[in-house]
Structure 1
Amino acid sequence: MLETLVPQPEDKILKLMGMFKADDRPNKIDLGVGVYKDASGVTPIMGAVKAAEQQLWGAETTKSYTGLAGDPGFSTAMRELVLGDAVASDRVAAAATPGGTGAVRQAFELIQMGNPEATIWTSRPTWPNHLSMLKHLGAKTREYAYFDTETCAVEFDAMMADLGAVAPGDVVLLHGCCHNPTGANLNAAQWRAVADHLVAKGAIPMIDIAYQGFGDGLEEDASATRLLAQTCPEMIIAASCSKNFGIYRERTGLLMAISPSAGATGVAQGTLSHLNRQNFSFPPDHGARLVTMILNDDTLRGQWQDELEAMRTGMLTLRKQLSDELRARTGSDRFGFIAEHRGMFSRIGVTPEQVDQLREKHAVYAVGDSRINIAGMNAETVPVLAEAVAEVIKG
C-alpha cells in the first residue's frame, strides 16, 4: 500500500522556511513565515501568558480530559471576545479545536454534513490552506474577486458581481479582519452591503478571524463579525488564539455555529462534539485554559490588552516606515497602500521573478505572490528592504 503513495505538493511557505534556514548570509531577512516577531526577531511569550502559566502551575490538580467540546469556560470567554452581545448566547454552539486551522477544518466538515451540495466561496486570493483543505475534502468551491493586483485594494464591485451567483444554502468564506495574504479589508459600508446581500441570497457567512486585535483594535476588528451575526440567521465562525495571545504551539482555537433559533442549538452543539470525537476526540486544553484565565481576570486581561496594543501599533509604525522609505527611494506613491492595510501581511505588488531577485541578490525572503510579514521587519531592516525592493523594480 505505502509504495503506491505519490508525493504531495510541497508547502511553499514551509519550503521557504527551509531555504531561509540554510542561507548563511548574516543580513538575511525572513518575511515569509506568518508568525509575529519582535524587533529582535523572536516570537515572545506575552507577560500575561507567563503570569497565567505560573498561576496554573500552582493551581492545576489534574491532566485528565476535558469534555469533547473543551472547557465551557473557554467557549464562553471566546464567544464574548469575538461576538460581544451581538447575538443571544443560547443561539451559539461552540467547540474548542487544535488551533484556528482545526476550527476551519471542522467548519468545512460541518458544512458538508449540513448541506453536501453547498458551494463554499473563497476570496481570490485567500489563505492557501483554505483551498488545500477544501480540495482534500472534495468540497464544491468557487472563487469571488477580492484583490486588485494593480491598485492593491479591494475590488469591491467585482466582488459583489461574483457573489451575485451565490445560491441559497451556499457558504461564503470571509476574513473577519486583517485579510491574509493581502492586508486589504472591507470598510464598514462594504461589510453592510455584503451582509444584506447574503441575507437576500439565503447564503451563510463563514468568518475566519485569526488576527483580532492586530488591525484597528480588539473591538474594531470584531465589528464585521458582529454585524454579520446580527444580520444573518445562520453563521459559522473559526477563531484563533495563536496570534493575539502568541500561543502558536499550544494550538488553541474555537469553532462557533450560530443557529437561527435557540431550539436548534442543541443539535448543532452535539454535532460539533461529534466532529471532535471523529477527528481527535478531546481538544487540547493548556492554551485554552490560559486564554480563559486571562480573559476572566481583570489584571491579566489589562496586561494582555496592553501588550497586544503594543504589538498592533508597532506593526502600524513599521507599515508607515516602509511606505515612507519606498516613496523616498522610488519617487512614487505606488506603495502608499502598505500604510493603509492592516494586520501582519501585505502583498507589495512585485512579480514572482522580482521576489526571486529579492531572495537571491538581497537575502530577503518573501512568498512568491509578494506577500510579506510586516512583523518580520524592524526599524533597522525596513530601509534595507526598501532599498532592495527599489532596486529590483528598477531592473
Structure 2
Amino acid sequence: MFEKLEEYPVDPIMIGADYFAQDPRRDKLNLTVGIYQDQDGQTPVLRAVKEAERRLVETQMTKSYLALTGDAEYCAVLGQEILGAAFGADWVAAQTSGGAVALRVMADLLAQMPEPPNVWLQTPTYGNYVPILSAAGARFAAVPYYDPIARQITFDQMLAGLNAARPGDVFLMQGVCHNPTGADMTPEQFAALLDLLEARGIIPWIDLAYLGFAQGFDADCAMARQVAARFAECIVCVTLSKSFGIYRDRAGALFVKTRQADRARMHRAVSAIVRASASHAPDHGPSVVRTILQDQVLKALWLQELDQMRARVAQVRTAIAETEVNDFGTQELAYFARQSGMFSLLPLTEGQEKALTAEHGIHVVKGGRVNVARLGSGDIGWLIRAVHAVRAQA
C-alpha cells in the first residue's frame, strides 16, 4: 500500500538543517533554523524561566487536562500583555502548542467555511505557511513583499496585488522580525496597508513570533495593537518560543476578534477543530510564561534577558556592515545593519546560493535566508568573503 504514497513538500527550513547534518565537512556553517544562540553557540535557558520552572515544580498540584482552549488565565494574561487595551470580551482565545498550531487551527476554520475566503500571503514569507494552508485545504494567493536582489520592500507592488482581494478575504502578515527578509514596514507603510485592508473589507491576520527582538517587547506589540484596536474582526497568532527561549516547550496562542453575535459560535468552532487535531495543548511552557508575566520581579528579569538577546543580534548586524567596509571596502551587506531580528536574505541568485554551500560550506534556507544570531565573531568575515566570491561568479 505505502508504495503509492506521493512525495510531500518539504519545509525549506527543516531540509536546510538536514543538508547541514549530512555535510561531511568539518568547516561548515549552519545559518538555517531560527533559534537564538549566544556568542558561544549555545541556546541558553533564561534565568527567569529557570526560576518559574522551580516554582511550578513546588506548587503545581495536578497534571489533569485543561479545557480544549487551554488555560483561560494564561490566555487572558497574554492577551492583555500583547494586545493591551484592545483586548477584552470581544475576543475568542485558545492556548496552542506554539504558533504553528494556532495557524493551523485558523487555516482549518477558514477552509471549512461555507464560502472559503482567499488567504493572501507576502512573498517571500514564513516557509511553513504554504504547507499549513495546503494541509488544511485553505485557498491562498501571494503578493510581492521584498526584492532580495534590490534589497528593498516592494511595498507599492504589494498594495497593488491586494487590489485583487475580495471583501471577506484574509491577509496573513507578520509582526516585526518575523518576516524572513528582516525588512519591516515603516509606520507610514503599515498605516497605509491598514487603510487598504479596511477600505476593501479584508480581514487582517497577524502572526507574532519574535516579540522583543526589534525595539523591545512592548514596542514590538504595536503592530498587533493597532490591528486589534481598529478592526471589528481580526486574527492574531502568537508563539513565545523565541521571546522566552522555550522552543521545545511549545507555548503559543490564537486570538480571534469577532462581533458579539458570532462569539459563542466561534468558540465552539475553535474548540471542535482543536479536539479533532492537536487536542489539549501542553501546559508546561505556557505555565512558565504565565508565572513570569504575573510576577513583577520575574518579568523584569525576563525583559532584561530578552534585551540582552536583542542587543547581541543587533551587534552582529552592525559587525557585518562594519567588517565589510573595513576589510573589503564595500557595502553590499550594509542593509544588515538597517534591518532587525534574526533573519535577512542574502542578495543571491539560486545558482549563487547553491555555490555558497557547495564551495564555502555555508548552509542557508532556500531563498537565501540567514539567521544572523548563529554567527560568531569569527564567522562574519567567512560569510562576507563567501558572499563576495559567489556574487562575482557569472
- TM-score, scaled relative to structure 1: 0.95
In structure 1, list runs of 5 or more residues that go unmatched: none
What's the secondary structure of 2:377's corresponding residue?
coil
User: What is the match of residue 235 of structure 1?
Assistant: 234
Question: 2-side partners of 1:46 and 1:40: how far apart?
Answer: 15
Deviates more, 1:71-80 or 1:361-370: 361-370
Question: 1-side partners of 2:80 and 2:335: how far apart?
Answer: 32
1:341-365 CA distances to partner (integer Å, 9 max, x unpaired)?
1111000111222222222222211
Correspondence list, 1:347-386, <5 A: 347-386=345-384
1:221 aligned to 2:220?
yes
Give, as a single letter, the amino acid of the residue that structure 2 aligns with 1:38.
D
Deviates more, 1:90-99 or 1:376-385: 376-385
User: What is the match of residue 184 of structure 1?
Assistant: 183
1:281 aligned to 2:279?
yes
User: What is the match of residue 385 of structure 2?
Assistant: 387
1:256 aligned to 2:252?
no
Question: 2-side partners of 1:76 and 1:186: how far apart?
Answer: 29
Question: 2-side partners of 1:301 and 1:351: how far apart?
Answer: 44
CA RMSD of aligned residues (A): 1.6
Question: 2-side partners of 1:33 and 1:303: how far apart?
Answer: 26
CA contact (8 A) 1:100 1:240 kept: yes
Give, as a single letter, the amino acid of the residue that structure 2 aligns with 1:188.
P
1:28 aligned to 2:32?
no
1:164-217 CA distances to partner (integer Å, 9 max, x unpaired)?
121100000000211421111111111111111111111100001111111121
Give the drift of 1:152. 1.4
What's the secondary structure of 2:122's corresponding residue?
strand
Correspondence list, 1:55-70, <5 A: 55-70=55-70
Question: 1-side partners of 2:152 and 2:114: how far apart?
Answer: 33
Give, as a single letter, the amino acid of the residue that structure 1 aligns with 2:71.
D
Pick from 340, 353, 372: which aligns with 1:342?
A: 340
What's the secondary structure of 1:216's corresponding residue?
coil
CA contact (8 A) 1:326 1:390 kept: no
Correspondence list, 1:300-311, <5 A: 300-311=298-309
User: What is the match of residue 9 of structure 1?
Assistant: 9
Give the drift of 1:104. 0.6
In structure 2, list runs of 5 or more residues that go unmatched: none
Give the drift of 1:149. 2.5
Q: Number of paired residues?
A: 393
Give the drift of 1:145. 1.4
What's the secondary structure of 2:331's corresponding residue?
coil
What's the secondary structure of 2:254's corresponding residue?
strand
Give, as a single letter, the amino acid of the residue that structure 2 aligns with 1:45.
V
CA contact (8 A) 1:198 1:232 kept: no
Question: 1-side partners of 2:113 and 2:259: how far apart?
Answer: 14
1:40-74 CA distances to partner (integer Å, 9 max, x unpaired)?
11211111111111111111111111111111111
What's the secondary structure of 1:346's corresponding residue?
strand
Closer/same/farther in 2, CA of residues 163 and 329 from structure 1, 3 Å limit: farther
Percent identity between matched residues is 34
Question: 2-side partners of 1:195 and 1:238: how far apart?
Answer: 18
Give the drift of 1:394. 2.5
Give the drift of 1:328. 3.7
Closer/same/farther in 2, CA of residues 115 and 227 from structure 1, 3 Å limit: farther
CA contact (8 A) 1:69 1:276 kept: yes
